[in-house]
Amino acid sequence: MTVHLVPWNTKLNLLEEANRLYETAKTFDCIQKGDLVAIKLHVGELGNPYYVQPVFVHDIICRVKEAGGKPFLTDSNTAYLAQRNNAYDHMKTALMNGFNMAPFIVADGLRGENFQLTKTKGILKEIEVSGAIAQADAMIVVSHCKGHELTGFGGAIKNLGMGCTPKAGKLRQHRTVGIEIDTSKCVGCGKCKEVCAFHLPDIIQGKAHNTSSLCMRCPMCIASCPMEAIHFVDKQNLCKALASAAYGVLSTFEHKKVSYVSFAKDIAQGCDCLPNPGEIVMKDVGIFASDSAVSIDAAFLQSVDAKLFNDASEVDCMVQVKEAKALGIEGEVKPKINVLN
Ligand code: SF4
Ligand code: SF4
C-alpha cells in the first residue's frame, strides 16, 4: 500500500499540488454516487493556529461532491471540559475557525450520547463509535500530524481511535493508563487540584491521593506539579487502545470506503486540542495521501526525526502503528513513499 506525498513547496500552487496528489492516490475512489461522506477532521481549539487550513478542507468538500458524495464535516466532542465538550460550543468553534463550507455534524450528539457500541480487538474488547461516523457510507480522514503528550504523536490512527469515539469511548481508552502520585515528593500545595476539571486529587494530611473513577488521565495535573510527583503508568497502553479503537471504528465501514489525507505542516510538540501547542519543532513536510491509516502514519514517522517526539513523550510513536498492523488493519509499517516532484 503505497503512500503518496506532495512536498510542502511554497514555490508551487499547493491547492493544485494537493489535487495532483488526490488524483494519484485515488483519494475519492471510495465514494459512490449518493454516499453520505464523513470528512473527519479536528476543527482546532480556539487560540491554536495549527489545525488544517480551511481552504484545503473546502477543496476536499468540492472533490467529494464531484465524486457524487454528500459531504459533511464531523468530529466528536472532547471528554475533558474544554470548549469542544458539547455540540453547541463545538459547532461555534468550528465556525470561528473557518469551517462553514459544509454542514458540521457533531458525530456523537449534544453531549456524547449518540454512539454505536462495537466489538473490537486488542487491549479493548468493545468501543463506542460516534453515531454519525458509524452511520456514514464513506469517510475521508483528514489529519494534522503533530506531537502528542500521551501517545508520542497524533495522525490518522489517533484521528480514528480517539477522534471517532464519544466521551465514553475516549475514557475507555484513557483508563488503560494508570496514574501514580509519589507521596514522598508531594508537598501538598494543591496545584494539581486547582487545574483538574474534577477537583482531583484529594489532599489528605498534606499529601495528594487520586483513586477517583472520574479521573480521565489527562496530563493537566502532571504538568502543574512543581515537584514532578505525578506520573502515568503504562502509557503505551493508550497507544494500543488507540489502535484497538481504530479497528472498531473501521469495522463500521465496508472495505475500501475510507481514505486518508494527512497534513504534515506546522508540526508542534503539543496536539491540536491545546490552545497553546508550543513551538513548531519540525520542518513542514507536505501532504500525504493513502488508503491505509497504518501506512500513512508510518510514512510520516519515517519522513521526520520521530525520536524528538519519542523523547518528549517517553513513548515510542511506532507502538500505535505496529499495534494497528498486528490487529489486522491493512497497511505497512515501512511503506513505500511515492514523492510527487
Ligand atoms: S489526570 Fe489529573 S487533572 Fe486529569 S482528571 Fe485525572 S486527576 Fe484530574
Ligand atoms: S501539585 Fe504535586 S506537590 Fe502539589 S499537591 Fe499535587 S502532587 Fe502534591
Of 189, 203, 212, the residue with max ligand 2 atoms within 8 A of its CB, to mutate for a pocket test, comes to: 189
Q: Which residue's alpha carbon is at the smallest distance from atom 5 of ligand 1?
A: 215
Q: Which residue's alpha carbon is at the smallest distance from atom 8 of ligand 2?
A: 186
**Per-residue pLDDT, 236:** 95
All three cell numbers of 119: 466489538
In a shared domain, residues 99 and 167: yes
Which protein residues touch ligand 2 with a CB less than 6 Å away? 181, 186-192, 203, 208, 224-225, 227, 229-230
> Which one of 215, 233, 251 terminates a domain?
233
**Per-residue pLDDT, 204:** 95
Place of cell 487491549: 123
Distance 226 CA to ligand 2 centre (A): 7
**Per-residue pLDDT, 234:** 93
Q: List Cβ neighbours of 141 (8 Å cut-off, separation of 6 or more).
A: 40, 156, 159, 160, 258, 259, 260, 261, 293
All three cell numbers of 185: 515528593
Burial 268-278 (b: 16+ CB within 10 A, else e): bbbbbbbeebe
Of 185, 191, 198, 212, the residue with max ligand 2 atoms within 8 A of its CB, to mutate for a pocket test, comes to: 191
Q: Which residues of the chain have pLDDT under 50?
A: none
Show the domain range for 127: 3-173+236-339
Question: Quick one: which atom of ligand 2 is closest to the CA of 189?
Answer: 4
Q: What is the pLDDT of residues 241-256, one digit of tens each?
A: 999 999 999 999 999 9
**Per-residue pLDDT, 277:** 75
**Does residue 201 have a cis peptide bond before it, meaning omega lies within 30 degrees of 0?**
yes
**Per-residue pLDDT, 27:** 98
- Total of domains in the chain: 2
CATH assignment at residue 122 = 3.40.50.11440
In a shared domain, residues 305 and 227: no
**Per-residue pLDDT, 197:** 86
In a shared domain, residues 183 and 138: no
Place of cell 498486528: 326
**Per-residue pLDDT, 82:** 77
CATH assignment at residue 183 = 3.30.70.20
Task: Name the 3-class secondary structure at 192.
Answer: helix
Task: Name the 3-class secondary structure at 93.
Answer: helix
